Structure 1
Amino acid sequence: MQSDDERARDWLQALLDGRLQRTEDGRFVLVLENRGRDWPVADVLTGEALGEMSRRDLERIGINNNLRNQLRSAIAVVDLYSPNVERRRTSAERLLGEVDGELVPTLDDLIEQEEDEQVRYRLTQAVAIYRAEAGEMAGVEALDGSLHPAPAWR
């Protein structure tokens, strides 16, 4: 889920927040502020301000709860590639209890590459929780002694 385009996270977040919308001619725009009748919008690809559009001229892209959860997980994974260690820490924390089988190989790779001990620890816990829920003893063993929400380094 690593992207060379720094805008990827913003697009995912905009979709999650309901700010990624489509005009009548099929152009995707970001709603910058959704107050009042007319909303300021920008082009999704260029970021160029397009002025204001009536909210009636915009079509919100609907998402269901399943997609909403997938978007949150995708954003968390994108954040794991951030050079900002605090963003990676927050992301790793967010993944606790949210990992699925498709995500495990990616997280295993990230655990090996991660330099920050806190991020590595939380990712290891996140994978272990998934494995324990899947009935794998390795997951249960990896969680032994780590059931307290406060990490050992605090």
Structure 2
Amino acid sequence: MAESIFIPEGATKKEKYESILPQIESLISSETDSYANLANVTAVLKEAFDFFWVGFYLVKKDQLVLGPFQGPLACTRIGLGKGVCGTAWKEGKTQLVPDVDAFPGHIACSSASKSEIVVPGFKNGLVWIVLDVDSDQLDDFDLEDAYFLEKLMELVSKHC
């Protein structure tokens, strides 16, 4: 069965988020396979915003392990507190990084990545997954992205 997402042309970033979030919820609430849902979420985000890299890392024992993503080759495993993703996992809060080269301990999976936002997802009060979004532009993410991506991760945690 083919799925489609409506992304309004010429819309602001806020309007795009407001348009895709309910569509994503509808898409993932009717599918029981978490991996399929995560894959579709990354595809929608890539299509809507043309992010350089977007994907998930799942907590597996003592590390984050690469999950579904869109973009260039990625790091496969990340330790607790390591890089931006490991920091989001350890601290349990969104990491908004305008310049990855200025982030202590940044893990350069791609030298083309310039800015990043990582948002944790929670189940039973614990981080179980992080959403990682990279840009090839400096300072490409802001509090608006953080707000809407946190809302997205609430949906992901509820339905995956």
User: Normalising by the residue count of structure 1, what TM-score does the alignment of the two structures yield?
Assistant: 0.26
Higher Cα Rg, which structure: 1
Q: Which has the higher contact order (CA 8 A, sep 6+)?
A: 2
User: Normalising by the residue count of structure 2, what TM-score does the alignment of the two structures yield?
Assistant: 0.26
More helix by share: 1
More strand by share: 2
